[in-house]
A and B are shown apart, each in its own frame.
Chain A
């Protein structure tokens, strides 16, 4: 998942569809994010490449909509409902996820294990 500026980024992704849960007046997703181009990437415990300023999932609440949908802690979010998340600020990312009029968010996420699984299956 290393990023070379100007070059297309390729990754093995998984589609995850999260149906937000309504709690009173709020729609909750059930996870937290970290990262962003305005953040310090070296603090990211989940990224392989410590210069990666992408958006990572830092916490998934148990039993929440995100967990049910299959999101895991440490996943990197590549897209949300079609909007890119690899080159956004933290706040922009948050906003794209928490739009009040959207009940469902469709994410593309990638993680280390996916990459490895594909490599392994290609080897065989």
Chain B
């Protein structure tokens, strides 16, 4: 066959067509590449081959710089046209003149010795060794290892990156390798020996040039890209560096059609490029990972110098996308653009793909990415951060733990401090937001990053100035993404318990800045955005148990005794007693009901805060009456349910407790006309809002005057919130909400038979009885029964009730309720904030009157705040929503 081959080839350039057939033969040839230092000149010569054929060959000038090593040709899959898929044969180069071309560069170019050379090459392949040929073979790849003769190894060649099956690049244009026939060249290539790597570089379309081979000897023969010769990937001799890169699958040169289309990359640095480029080897054209992501190529395409265009990727099946271990290996590549592209690709792969995230973790990719955060180059650390952000997102918390375990959190904080790039800062804070949603990491984040986040993000973006300049007007807050992410992160960590709350309260400047930001939001009437929501949630969390946890709380504690006696005294007072007893603030219309609630109330009204020598700062701001105004404004303006819930929750927290500040706050809410605002929010459609507001009202009604007012104006709304079978318009509220409303009602009617009367008047009894008898939830039933019992305890109202048709049995419905429930309630009262203070009167532990609200009885979750569980629950949801979304890697 070789003979045949020869024949074909001999006819000189035109033989190309003939040659076509040859390729098949080329398999399994082992060719040893000779190192041909160079057949220096190019000249047209006529070579007579051994077998007598005469050929006209163009000389090839070869300066081979490198030696090609032996390669074994593997079966070369033939491409469609029968040409071996490998392309290699660049050398076939042009039969035609192109002599000059050959020269090209010193050796770099693989000049195919023109026909002859190629021929020879082929011959070589065929075991003919033509004298001249071999060298021709340019081993183009200078020094590539193993690029053996093209011919044989097409397979290997391909690998070698060297061979670029000429086709590969055929960019379609140009480069027609040589011979006019265009096909020829390709064919030749196929035959192999050609030097493969042709890097199509530049070959510019000069047909005549025919030298397809010009190839820049890139070390790896750039061709790599093209290489994807055929199928056999085996081996890939991979260059040491790019293991992946070189993988070339000889995917049967699909491109066969285009003879060399050489990629027209003129870029001489192809080899390098190759490296950078994430090699897309088309092993079988089907890159397992990459398929759908053609788009992602764009990111990868951003290679330093030249990147395979998406088109070439798509159309060039020779490249296969790297698989995951390869990508992770590339993260440690010495060349920086490789690192950054690998990181970007990783980010892309991980997007919404939990399996890949897990794999990355198993392959130990996370410590490498964390290490890249310290890299000085912005592209590298930016992409690494993007990849980490995607990895940290999701339900699987193992990834978050892995990031923390390799010191990712301090590394992120370090980078945040160093960088000025807004995008990097967004990525960093987004990653921290994701990490903070996992409970065990919250304290770690606080330890490493609290002060930095405050100083670097919260304070600057909030517009707060620690040393306010009198001349300048206060700055407005900037609602940037970085601020949103950071506030989200702090929101999550603030839910982590008492220690976390303490650290945040004591963090320098945090509370001040947050309040300043909220003030400016209210001022700009922009209270629905996520950042505001996050800030209010932080404030709510920090207000939790503030009466117990802030330093110096003791001295503000009200004495229970005095309070209770005063409250006790006021028990019987009717609010509509004469006159403006609380005359000082007589201007309040609604609220001022001239109550005669006792001196204490009056005192509360006129209670003066201890004189301050300097303005409050830090956590003290949490409970200054000014915040009341702020929260009420937010409640009035905002439409965001989370924000409303948080603001109501903050008021709830603040008005809990027995200390002086909460007393003052309760009064201030009233004075600032907050009660109508809250009552109106009871009409909200959102469960959580209704719940938070009703518990807030419950706490607020610890203040006598509030209780009276709330009882008269809010009772209707509260009753309306109770479920009822008849009323179709009744809201369908969750169990927790219903229980909260019931407890609020209970609280309001306690100690105030007036309120109990208004409850009767609003048709509440019917609903209560219905609930207590037939509700599905035991908690609802219990709560309703308590209310009913309380009502029944007002003897003076029994007549009215009986007139309406109710009798005792309705009110004492739950059997064994009193004792049983007491027991249960006593215990569970600590757990469930929504349980009413059960049977205070029956409770022996509490001395004192029923009026006293045994805050302690309720335990930590008593009135004061949202149940810890709730809080957690709440935060969990907000955590998830708070996770910064994954992003596609930035393109371009």
Contact = CB atoms under 8 A, between A and B. Distances in A.
Most interface-central of A67, A117, A123 (chain B CB within 10 A): A67
B410 interface: yes
Contact of A62 (B374, B418, B448): B448
Nearest to A63: B451
B450 A62 contact: yes
Given A62-B448, A62-B452, A72 B334 contact: no
Contacts of A62: 413, 447-452
B414 interface: yes
B417 interface: yes
Contact of B410 (A68, A73, A120, A123): A73
Contacts of A63: 450-452, 455
A46 to B, nearest CB: 12
Given A62-B447, A67-B417, A113-B371, A124 B455 contact: no
A63 B447 CA distance: 10
Residue among B332, B418, B451 with the most chain A CB within 10 A? B451
Contacts of B410: 72-73
A124 B374 CA distance: 19
A121 interface: yes
B335 A124 contact: yes
Interface in B412-452: 413-414, 417-418, 447-452
Interface string B331-351: 010110000000000000000
B414 A72 contact: yes
> Does more than half of chain B's interface fall in helix, strand or loop, or is it mixed?
helix
Contacts of B449: 62
Interface string A20-48: 00000000000000000000000000000
Interface in A97-124: 113, 117, 120-121, 123-124
A73 B455 CA distance: 21
A124 B334 contact: yes
Contacts of A70: 414, 418
Interface in A62-92: 62-63, 67-68, 70, 72-73
Interface in B358-417: 371, 374-375, 410, 413-414, 417
Contacts of B335: 124
Contacts of A73: 410
Contacts of B374: 113
Contact of A68 (B417, B447, B448): B417
B334 A120 contact: yes
A121 B340 CA distance: 15
Contacts of A113: 371, 374
Contacts of B371: 113
A72 B411 CA distance: 9
B666 to A, nearest CB: 37
Nearest to B413: A62
Contacts of B413: 62
A18 to B, nearest CB: 14
A68 B418 CA distance: 9
A64 B367 CA distance: 26
B448 A121 contact: no
Contacts of A68: 417
B186 to A, nearest CB: 35
Contacts of A121: 334
10 contacts: A62-B413, A62-B449, A63-B452, A68-B417, A70-B418, A72-B414, A73-B410, A117-B375, A123-B334, A124-B335
The 3 A-B residue pairs with the shortest CB-CB distance in the complex, in nearest-first order: A63-B451, A124-B334, A123-B334
Given A67-B414, A68-B417, A117-B375, 15 more contacts: A62-B413, A62-B447, A62-B448, A62-B449, A63-B452, A63-B455, A67-B452, A70-B414, A73-B410, A113-B371, A113-B374, A121-B334, A123-B334, A124-B334, A124-B335
